[in-house]
Amino acid sequence: QKEVEQNSGPLSVPEGAIASLNCTYSDRGSQSFFWYRQYSGKSPELIMSIYSNGDKEDGRFTAQLNKASQYVSLLIRDSQPSDSATYLCAVDTGRRALTFGSGTRLQVQP
């Protein structure tokens, strides 16, 4: 079992729709969770971090964390073509380095 699992996609949504990206993790002791966006040929950039159960909203982005079920999700409201990218889930397992999933590719259709 991978430590951090994501559906590779592609996830295709129409412009203006809500995109829902999911991530599960195996280490129950994990405390910190992050979403990174990566455009093709570019390096990852941090878009959200979440540390406690529940929802955290930042503009069109909402991160959701459920530690009991060991999943993290990212919702993107009013999706735009510029949101088309690979979204990486990362987990801090306490071993000093983030563990990344393999990413979900999102395609927003104009």
Partner 1 sequence: DTGVSQNPRHKITKRGQNVTFRCDPISEHNRLYWYRQTLGQGPEFLTYFQNEAQLEKSRLLSDRFSAERPKGSFSTLEIQRTEQGDSAMYLCASPYHTGTGELFFGEGSRLTVL
Least Cβ distance, residue 86 to partner 1 (angstroms): 9
Residues in contact with 45: Cβ distance below 8 Å, sequence separation at least 6, in sequence order: 36, 37, 38
Residues 70-109 as x/- pattern, contact with partner 1 by CB under 8 A: ------------------x-x-x--xxxxxxxxx------
CB atoms within 10 A of CB 47: 18
Please say which residue, 37 or 108, places its beta carbon nearer to partner 1. 37
Output b/e per residue, 59-68; b: 16+ Cβ within 10 A: eebbbbbeee
Q: Which residues of this chain interact with partner 1, rule CB under 8 A?
A: 4, 8, 32, 34, 42-46, 49, 88, 90, 92, 95-103
